[in-house]
Structures are given as structure tokens and as C-alpha cells.
Amino acid sequence: MKVLVVGNGGREHALAWKLLQSKQIEQVVCVPGNGGTAIMERCQNLPLAVDNFEGMSQYALKHGITLVIVGPEVPLAKGITDYLQSKGLMVFGPTRAGAQIEASKAWAKALMQEARIPTAKAAVFTEAAAAKSYVKAQGAPIVVKADGLAAGKGVTVAETLEQAEMAIDAIFQGQFGSAGNFVVIEECLVGQEVSVLALTDGLTIRPLLPAQDHKRIGEGDTGENTGGMGAYAPAPIATPELMARIQTEVLEKTIASLRSKNIDYRGVLYAGLMVAPDGDFKVLEFNCRFGDPETQVILPLLATPLEELILACVQQRLGELPPIAWHRGAAATVVAASGGYPGEYEKGQVMTGIPEAEAAGAVVFHAGTKLNQQQLVTDGGRVLNVTGIGENFEQAIAQAYAGIKSIHFPGMYYRRDIGYRVLS
């Protein structure tokens, strides 16, 4: 079987890597892929933009691609699944209608309220004055969110009323384009975040191992928000009891609600949850895709062949499969970032030491890299995901750090405290 993977990050490298562990997979084509997917055996890159649906479908039909797996949210929200399905291709990832669960926070909030899914109290506004008077009435801290996709930058956790008002103005002044046509204002929740990614065929939904990521740039979870500086799985905060509640109170209710709206959702439903100090939980957000970097720590622990699960979702027979099997142990990933990220940074820096990191037992997923005349160079803010897999968190984290120590590029930065919550 030949598979096309859409995207160019560490998540897509991890998907391709996992698929290629199966003998069933003849070839993976990444669109557009990165330096890591360029050099993996049985893998190749196709240099098309992720929203060039026509180019992808022509290639897929001509080259006998059986299955398309979509990594990022942007092509899903633009209807890649609807388009490729209309050409007769099998696609893992929701249609444009289903992707609204991530692409519109107001839409997702309404779904959660209708389906009585536990979530933060919220209100939606279309103009600044009403939003500001609501914020004044509620008081700070309070959370201000642009409705649409904003590459993770549309959320402000405002400690003061002034910060909340500034965030409201920025959104309505068009800082996020049409993503800011609506503003969602939400109660500020405290606790620990956990990511529960689940696979669904639209009828059955099954969770993967829970993961936690570190969103802030600085050690101790301080400083600016990023796309994620590290992650680990399985997150012990999501106990079996909590996972059972999440299954019935969040995942099954969401799929039932989507179905009631005639949305046939086949792909990943990712619930971002806040677990309060008393153990109760609420949904912060839904994503319509695999998490990045959570995928890089979940897939190494997956024992069931990934393509079996994905095909079962696409063909709506997930309920017939035996339970998902997992390897024992834990995985952790540390992100090597370009100096300056999440602000300005340089690209094109030459990297060394990846073979040495792999020889030390780490798995190195490329996130922002490219091959430049046979040389691997940096090509993004988050450059590499150096991943350790072990019998426990101590081993997994030690292996990731042992690997990253041998890697160098000018300006490289990484956090030294990934996984501190799970190390005793």
C-alpha cells in the first residue's frame, strides 16, 4: 500500500516513520515533507503546498496512492477531505464541516454546551464594546480567544482587565484576519492540561494514550507560548478512572453530537483538557487532527499497526477491531528550537550530530529541517524532536537528553526540564 501524508512537521515525520514499520506499507509520500522524510527509506517528498488539493489528487491517482493522511488543521478546514473524497480517494481526517470543531471556537463551544460536555463558561461577541462590558462584569483573570485558526496565537490568558481589553481590540482590529470575526470570552481555569487524542470512524471512538506537552518557551513553564517545546506519554494525571469519564462525558458525546448534525467525522478528535486540583476536568479546546508534538511520543508506544487503525476509521469498522495494543513504558520528546523562537530566528543553519544521537538510542523526528544540496539545514522555529523511549519516564527522558547533547547547530535552544512533573 502507498500512503500520502500531508504536512511538513515532526508530527508528519512520526506518522511516516510509524507507517513504514509495517511491511504492508510500500511507500510513503510526504507533501511537502521535510529533511527527515526526504532521507528515510521508502519515503519521499512531493514539493506541493498543503492546499494544492488538485495537485495532490492528480499525483495520488496517477501513482496508485491508496490512502491520504492529513496532518495539519489548515487543509482540513479548507476542505481537503471533501475534495479528495470527490476524486475517489480514501482520506483520514474530517471534512470541512467536521473541522469546524477546531476552526471555529464559537462553533465548538456551542456544540459542547448543547451536548452538555464539561467546559469553561463562555460567551461569544461580534463587537468590542459588548465584549469589554462582559469582561468588566466577569473580572480578571479571564481568557480571550479569536474564533478561528490563528496558529496557536489567538488565545490570551489575561491576568488584568487591561490585558483582556487589549486582546479584544487586537482581535477586532484584524490582527488574526477573519479568524477574529468573533471573540470567545471564557472563564479562566486552573490545573494541569492533558491532551487526549482519539481515533474515530464517526460511530466508534477510541482514545490513544494520554499525553502532556510543554507549551511555554522557558523552563518551569514560563515565558511565551510556543507550538510545544516537549511532550511525554502516557500522562499519569489521566488515570484510568479519568479516561473512562473522558470517554463517556466527552468523546462519545462529541461524536453523537457531530452525527446529529449529519457530520460523518473520520479521523482524530483531539480533546485538550484542564484537570483541576480536585481531579475534575473541563474541555479547553478540540483539535481535528493529531497533536504536535504529542504524536511524536504516542506513536512510538503504539503496538497495533497504525495503518490498520487508520483504515478501520476511514472504512467505518473501528468497532470490529480488537482493543488498541500498546508497548509498556514511556516516551518523551525534547524540541531543539532555533535561537529566537517563538520570535524571529534564522534559517539555513547546518546541523551535526543526528547520527550520534540515534546511535545513543534516541529517535530524531525532524520538524523544521530541509535537505540543501545533500546537507541537512534548519528550516523552521522548532527544528528537531529528539525522542527517548524507555521502560519508565526516567529512562525515556534520559535517552532524549543523551541524544540531544550530541546535536549542534548555531543558536540551538532547548528546555532542560521536559517532563519535570513526572520525574520524582
The least distance separating ligand AMP from the CB of residue 182, rounded to whole angstroms, comes to 14
To ligand GLY, the closest distance from the beta carbon of 345 in angstroms equals 19
Q: Does 292 bind ligand AMP (CB under 6 A)?
A: no
**Chain centre distance of CA 269:** 10
Q: Is 16 in the site for ligand AMP (CB under 6 A)?
A: no
Our CB check for ligand GLY shows the closer of 294 and 307 to be 294
CA dist., res. 193 & res. 273, Å (int): 6
Stretch of 10-18, 55-63, 184-192, 290-298 contacting ligand AMP, by CB under 6 A: 184-192
What is the longest distance spanned by two Cα atoms in the chain?
60
Per partner kind, with CB cut-offs from 5 to 8 A, the member of ligand AMP, ligand GLY, none near residue 189 is ligand AMP
Is the CA virtual torsion 200, 204, 210, 215 positive or negative?
positive
Binding segment for ligand AMP (CB under 6 A), chosen from 67-75, 185-193, 341-349, 362-370, is 185-193
Element (H, E) at 395: helix 393-405
Contact 200, 255 (CB under 8 A): yes
Torsion of CA 325, 257, 191, 197, to 10 degrees: 30
Identified binder of ligand AMP from the candidate list 51, 82, 165, 193, rule CB under 6 A: 193
Q: Where are the alpha helices (DSSP H) in 173-304?
A: 240-246, 252-260, 294-298
Which range, of 182-190, 261-269, 380-388, 404-412, touches ligand AMP by CB under 6 A?
182-190
Enumerate residues 222-261 that contact ligand GLY by CB under 6 A: 228
- Which residue in 219, 273, 267, 268 sits closest to 242, CA to CA? 273
The entry of ligand GLY, ligand AMP, none near residue 213 (CB within 5 to 8 angstroms by kind) is ligand GLY
Given a contact cutoff of 8 angstroms between Cβ atoms, the answer to whether 339 and 406 are in contact is: no
Among 12, 147, 201, 285, binds ligand AMP (CB under 6 A): 285
- Written as nine digits, the cell of 400 is 532524549
Does residue 381 belong to the site contacting ligand GLY (CB under 6 A)? no
Cell numbers describing residue 398: 534520559
CA atoms within 13 A on the CB side of 297: 40
Binding region for ligand GLY (CB under 6 A): 213, 228, 287, 291-292, 294
Binding region for ligand AMP (CB under 6 A): 120, 143, 145, 155, 157, 186-189, 193, 215, 272, 284-285
